Structure 1
Amino acid sequence: MKADQAEALRKEFPATAIGKLPRAGIHLDYVGHAAVTDRLLAVDPEWTWEPVAFADDGSPLIVTRGKDAELWVRLTVCGVTRYGVGTAPSGSFELAKQLISDAIRNAAMRFGVALDLWSKEELNAPPPPEPMTTTQSDRLSALLSSLDDEWTAEVKSWWHERKFPKLADLNREQAGQVIGYIEEHTPEPTA
């Protein structure tokens, strides 16, 4: 599989393609079978799936465990094969269709399709900002202490418009912006 194909499989779905599934008093985000199939077709029009095992009559083997049924499949996308399992209550309407749909979505997740919806943490979260440097902290302290009341109020107003945290909690980028603003907009201190 090529990098661009893997990236296309992992692309986030638009909000309009994400549904809500009620489970144990909460609503889980999910992407339906049609949206997953569309994504697979867009990346590899020749993708395939097959059951891992067959029943005696040649149909996919559906195993019942207690009140649940399951179907294991192999999903092949761009020449790479991964396994997935579909589960549903054994008395479900159109059980085979539900199991196939769930198994394909589960196996597609192994390729990264809708992986962000399965994960409990943010997978593509940006790294945390770097903290303000000692040099920046010293420079800011010197600049702020040199301001008169009028410029102190001006800088505070600008600062609050940007919703910056208190001085000690500024990150490196924010500190750079504050230093730049003060140096550019306030008069040089007089001796």
Structure 2
Amino acid sequence: MKLSDVQKRLQAPFPAHLVSWRAGAFAQGHQRALLLAYIDARAVQDRLDAICPDAWSFEMEIIAGASRPTVKGRLTVLGVVREDIGEAGEGDLGTLKAAASDAIKRCAVQFGIGRYLYDLPKLWADWDNDKRAPVQTPELPQWARPDHERSPGGAHLISAIEQLKYELPDDLDLQREVYKHLKAALGSLQPASANAGRAA
């Protein structure tokens, strides 16, 4: 097995319940926050265990002299190595464990794991400062959900968006393919009205 064989599975969206939210910035006296989505280190490890359980490893070394606990992480997946730095956040009580978790997540992003979360649109929401969480958990867009969590037609929309990501294809057959997916997606979103139109 090679990394290219499992790339799509590594990059697949996580179930919504595994995605957490933290504040990236505040407004209105900590009553509103710019929300940033993230997954925890355990979700990364579970993803790697599910796809290549015997072919990944993580090592780290402590970086001395940093203002907060900092480590250099080294994640190896199917013989391919990615490295990145992890830091303990201010709310993490400054532990090496928090720095290690940050490092494995940063390394994993270089393999595409959870990278799609960086593409989410900016979102300001009401913030509960006592719970350090949004008042209401945001809903992820369809494209940021696994197949089984998407609404009817979601898979068709994803296929069309993938083909249109760069430009409308010149090839007429590919254009027809995009049209077919969009038509199927729209039909599945309002099947009752579509059937009524046919009956009329």
Short-chain TM bin:
0.5 to 0.7
Report the alpha carbon displacement of residue 31 of structure 1 after superposing the two structures with TM. 0.8
Matched-pair identity in %: 30
CA contact (8 A) 1:64 1:90 kept: no
Pair 1:3 & 2:11 matched: no
Aligned equivalent of 2:82: 82
Aligned equivalent of 2:51: 43
Q: Over the residues paired in the alignment, what is the CA RMSD in angstroms? A: 3.2
Task: State the alpha-carbon separation in 2 of the partners of residues 10 and 16 from structure 1.
Answer: 17
Task: State the alpha-carbon separation in 2 of the partners of residues 17 and 89 from structure 1.
Answer: 20
Aligned equivalent of 1:34: 42
Aligned positions, number: 127
Report the alpha carbon displacement of residue 65 of structure 1 after superposing the two structures with TM. 3.4
Report the alpha carbon displacement of residue 37 of structure 1 after superposing the two structures with TM. 0.8
Pair 1:116 & 2:110 matched: no
- Secondary structure of the 1:63 match is coil
Aligned equivalent of 1:140: none
CA contact (8 A) 1:21 1:29 kept: yes
- TM-score, normalised to structure 1, is 0.56
Aligned equivalent of 1:138: none
- Higher-Rg structure is 1
Report the alpha carbon displacement of residue 32 of structure 1 after superposing the two structures with TM. 1.1
CA contact (8 A) 1:74 1:107 kept: yes
Report the alpha carbon displacement of residue 69 of structure 1 after superposing the two structures with TM. 3.3
Report the alpha carbon displacement of residue 92 of structure 1 after superposing the two structures with TM. 4.1
Name which of structure 1's ranges 102-111 and 17-26 shifts more when overlaid on structure 2.
17-26
- TM-score, normalised to structure 2, is 0.53
Aligned equivalent of 1:93: 93
- Report the CA distance shift for 1:173/1:49 in structure 2 as closer, same or farther (over 3 A): closer
